[in-house]
Amino acid sequence: MAENFITNSIQVQNIIKGLTLTKSLFVSSILIGEPHSGKKTLIHQLFPTAIYADGANRAQLEQLLEIHEELIIINFEKLHNIEKLHFKNKRIIAIANHITNEKIIDSLFAFIYQMPPLRERKEDIDLLAAHLLGEVKTNLAAQKDLAIDTDKLDISKNMLSLRRSVYYQVFAQSLDETQIEEMLYNFFLERLKGKSDYKTYLYLFEKPLIEAGLKKFGSQLKLADILGINRNTLRKKIYELGID
């Protein structure tokens, strides 16, 4: 069983059940879905000892088909002349990002599964983010309590972008003043060129300061007092910086 595959999605759980039932049968299945949606991870957990073949290497694939009864084929969409493949009396699990010839796919595979992308698995996003938060805290040896802003999670490229956005949030929260100064130093060292660069890059300080202040204190009047500036000056900066 894919006991370690993190999901609350009914659709994914049904895929797991279906593939689990075929583990003792000589039938072929294909799992289709967007890149980084968890296809390879799921198949690896269900078939941990299976041999892998790459659809981009036809010669290797044909050789492995001759000697193995069970085979995982990755990058199946890269195979040409798939109608000439023979899966009889074999347990083949293919993984593809997409398919082009549905009729041939229907003739080759007894079971065809569609892996939903993360945007269709809303119930999985917070679950996966919490798992990744633990992972990144361990990898970065983060000591303080950290939280994830779910509104800033990026699922545009499924797990690839989700992992990146979680790591970025944890990294940003883990920086101390010295590390922030060092990052800004390297940034300015690379970019300072013009005569008016002070004004050009002043927003890097002002915008996050004002945005954080507005979120923390919830009032322009109070923030202006805390920052020691005129309320009209603060309003002008909010407008100029495009702060919502």
* Domain locations in the chain as residue ranges: 10-116, 120-174, 177-240
Q: What is the pTM of this model?
A: 0.82
Kindly give, in sequence order, each residue whose CB lies less than 8 Å from that of residue 101, ignoring residues fewer than 6 positions away. 82
Contacts of 243 (CB under 8 A, 6+ apart): 207, 210, 211, 214, 237
- Given a cut of 70, whether residue 2 has pLDDT beyond it is no
pLDDT in tens, 129-166: 999 998 888 887 776 778 889 989 999 999 999 999 99
Q: What is the pLDDT of residue 238?
A: 95
**Under CATH, what is the fold of the domain 177-240?**
Arc Repressor Mutant, subunit A (1.10.10)
Alpha-carbon gap, residue 169 to 149, rounded angstroms: 8
Q: CA 124, CA 106: separation in Å to the nearest integer?
A: 30
Angle, vertex CA 36, rays to CA 32 and CA 38, nearest 5: 65
Summarize the confidence of residues 98-115 as an average pLDDT.
92
Q: Please tell me the least confidently modeled range out of 76-80, 134-138, 215-219, 230-234.
A: 134-138
Q: Is the pLDDT of residue 3 over 70?
A: no
The average pLDDT across 156-181 equals 92
Q: Are strands 51-54 and 29-33 parallel, antiparallel or unpaired?
A: unpaired
CATH of domain 10-116: 3.40.50.300
Across 13-36, average pLDDT:
95
